[in-house]
Structure 1
Amino acid sequence: MQCINVATNPNYKVIIGQDILEDVTHYADDCGSECIIVSDSNVANLYLPRVRAALTAAGMRVGEVVFTAGESCKTLTTAGKLLDAYAQFKLTRSGVVLALGGGVTGDLAGFTSAVWLRGVPVIQLPTTLLAMVDSAVGGKTGVDLPYGKNLIGAFHQPRKVLADINTLKTLPEEQHLDGVAEMLKAGITRDPELFAKLLSEPQSALSEEAIARSISIKAEIVVADEFERGERKLLNLGHTAGHAIEKVSNYRIRHGRAVAMGMVLVADAGWRHGITSEACRDAIIEALARCNLPLLSPYQIEELLPAMGYDKKRTGSKITLAVPKEIGQCELLELAVEELPAFWGVKGVQEL
């Protein structure tokens, strides 16, 4: 078992280990006397009964709300249903929201806990590799709009993150790969050793040590720039194009796969502009291929540009891209929005 301290204000711990859900009240000993569990229709069938039983046995008043699984349900409509459930449960500020599931669940539970009664605590119980190494840590919450992903949200740090790696045993291969893409991103951004480990042993992504290292990388960057005014934007490597790919596909393409395609696109564009070394670009492509992640977007850049115009890293008429230089080193590139087509290699200017 490993424990990582995230020194934001307030600070919190990320605990990684086995059999955490069976003894959730031991690790989440600051739940208070009431909580409501948020989960999706897939995860609820697997894990909600045991979590509810453990909490009830500890004498807590326990509620639950289950929504239909999938990114297409990460909407204001679903958020409203969660908030209605909190109201019916009469959740007070002494209560806690428990987010049991993957990234969509964490985003929805985090966002609704941020706005319910102007803020109640949330404890993240991630059950997917992607949620463990990325979305459950850092306090970003949100829902999607038809215009783009995560356009409505709040920074709301969790009270605690409890990552039970036993849940990864039931994870479908495609969801496992989503997490591997984010772990490779962490290596490209900050840690050549982690990147090399995943390149040589893709199966090591499921090890407690690799998961903990990926979380530590994100935690270090979040602590340095909690509200994404600078350095934290490095964690968006592959995400400007990746989120656009998700949006254009109507979320049929999963997040990790879209980010993998986005990393190839930005590494190749960076190489053409003299930012990314050829060795770095080739290593990224090789690593993604060896981990059975896709390399090529099914959409042309011209199809993705309108969605990129809604990127959250846009400020006024400028947008910031994370671009790899070498494995373990990325830089932030600020471009005028009208310069985006040329960066991606598209002739002419498109209004965004």
Structure 2
Amino acid sequence: MKIPVMIPNHEYDIILERGALAHLADYVKIQGKVLLITDTGVPQAHIELVSAQLADCDCYIVEQGEGSKSFTVLQKILSYMLAHDFQRSDCVIALGGGVVGDLAGFAASIYMRGIRFINFPTTTLAQIDSSIGGKTAINLDGVKNVIGAFYQPSLVIIDPEVLKTLDHRQIVSGLAEALKAGLIADAKLFALFSRADPMEEIETIIYRSLLVKKHIVEQDEKETGLRKLLNFGHTIGHGIEACYLDSLYHGEAVALGMLYFIENESLKEQVIKIYEKLGLPSTCDYEKEAVFTHIAHDKKASKHTIDVVVVSDAGKSHIEKMSFDEIKARL
């Protein structure tokens, strides 16, 4: 299945197909060199399968986890590219989850002012959300994604088969982003989570989630308005995640963050039941002031207010400006 993303001057395709990992060469036509950036959490068999299909491929492996989204790791990647004579005609391929996609995409965006970038997401979260839309970034001083660029990939390839190598917690963490997409813009997608096992509907969940994000980023690539809806759950979620980097997955933090801004109590009860079924947390002990400090550094914040996304019903959401005092009260 091919899903076109029609951003002005940045059109590209998403390929959604089972078995695509083994047929990468059918979709990727590269004349020059390739730097395959991946991490220690990606199975070696995946790395070897991709490398074998590319004529001139170097592989750069970083440590799994948010710690790799740093200036230090970024500089090492750029230095490697320079030392190995990568040119603007060459290509970076990300093989991994959101961390790898963010890091590889940002490196591609700034090396020689931008070289070709292809994203092959291997986690539920990356397949559902982070692999498309062009956000690339690293973290700085404990603040997530504060240094980065909007840089669209030239191709995204999604193979649901690779999800079989993930543990249950990783899969569920990614599904939180699909639940987010349903809550903000697609009531039918949200309804899929009320069924016995969402994994039985995983291709439909991925597809509908991608359509939500595609529709939004096509209208607002640089997040000046509508695209802020995709930040539902992230305002408080990022603050909680920053305080629990070693013990909380991104999707779990977003799941917690969403509960603060669902205004319909009946809907919130439904969401909590879905969390319980999936194994997502609905409560978390945290230090309010520490979380609030991270929220105050959020990219969406101004001096006294921050844009937050509020959900009134399944598939219905809007953006509100809230004072820091109100955010603190919700905490």
Partner-residue secondary structure (3-state), 2:102: helix
Contact kept? 2:66, 2:245, Cα under 8 Å: no
Aligned ranges for residues 196-207 of structure 1 at < 5 Å? 196-204=191-199, 207=202
1:158-182 C-alpha deviation (Å, 9 max, x unpaired): 0010011111010111110111100
**Fraction of identical pairs, as percent:** 35
Distance 2:181 2:17 in 1: 20
Compute the displacement of 1:198 (Å): 1.5
Tell me which moved more, 7-16 or 284-293: 284-293
Aligned to 2:289: 302
1:253 aligns with 2:248: yes
- What's the counterpart of residue 312 of structure 2? 325
Which residue does the alignment assign to 2:21?
21
Structure 2 length normalisation: TM-score?
A: 0.96
Give yes or no for contact 1:143–1:149 (8 Å, CA) kept in 2: yes
8 Å CA contact retained: 1:16, 1:163:
yes
- Which amino acid is 1:102 matched to? G
Name 1:100's counterpart in structure 2: 95
Q: Post-superposition shift, 1:144?
A: 0.8
> Per-residue deviation at 1:42?
2.0
The farther-off stretch of 190-199 and 333-342 is 333-342
The equivalent residue for 2:64 is 69
**Could you tell me which amino acid in structure 2 is paired with residue 26 of structure 1?**
D
CA drift at 1:153: 0.5
Q: How does 1:1-352 map to 2 (within 5 A)?
A: 2-9=1-8, 10-29=10-29, 31-43=30-42, 45-56=44-55, 61-204=56-199, 207-267=202-262, 276-342=263-329, 344=330
Q: Deviations over 1:99-134 (max 9, x none)?
A: 000000000000000000011111000001100111
State the Cα distance separating 1:250 from its structure 2 match.
3.2
Q: Secondary structure at the match of 1:311?
A: coil
Any unmatched runs of 5+ in structure 2? none
Look up the equivalent residue of 2:217 and give its one-letter code: V
1:319 CA drift (Å): 0.9
Unaligned regions of 5+ residues in structure 1, if any? 268-275, 346-352
Q: Distance in 2 between matches of 1:128 and 1:326?
A: 28
CA distance in 1: counterparts of 2:271 and 2:289, whole angstroms:
24
SS in 1 for 2:261: helix
Aligned length: 330
- Alignment-mate amino acid for residue 16 of structure 1: L
Deviates more, 1:126-135 or 1:83-92: 83-92
Could you list the per-position Cα deviations for residues 270-312 of structure 1 after superposition, in whole angstroms to 9, with x for gaps in the alignment? Answer: xxxxxx1222222222222222111012214333111101111
Q: 1:301 to 1:104 in 2, by over 3 A?
A: same
Contact 1:180 1:205 in 2 (8 A): no
Aligned-partner SS, 1:124: strand
Where 1:285 maps in the other structure, the secondary structure is helix
CA contact under 8 A between 2:239 and 2:291: conserved in structure 1? yes
Q: Deviations over 1:226-284 (max 9, x none)?
A: 100111111111111111111111342110111111112232xxxxxxxx122222222
Displacement of 1:33 in angstroms is: 2.2
| One-letter amino acid of the counterpart of residue 20, structure 2 | I
Partner amino acid, structure 1, of 2:19: D
Aligned-partner Cα distance in 1 for 2:278–2:313: 20
Taking a change above 3 Å as real, the CA distance of residues 208 and 246 of structure 1, as seen in their structure-2 partners, is: same
Secondary structure, aligned partner of 1:94: coil
Tell me the TM-score normalised to structure 1 length: 0.90
The AA in structure 2 aligned to 1:11 is: E
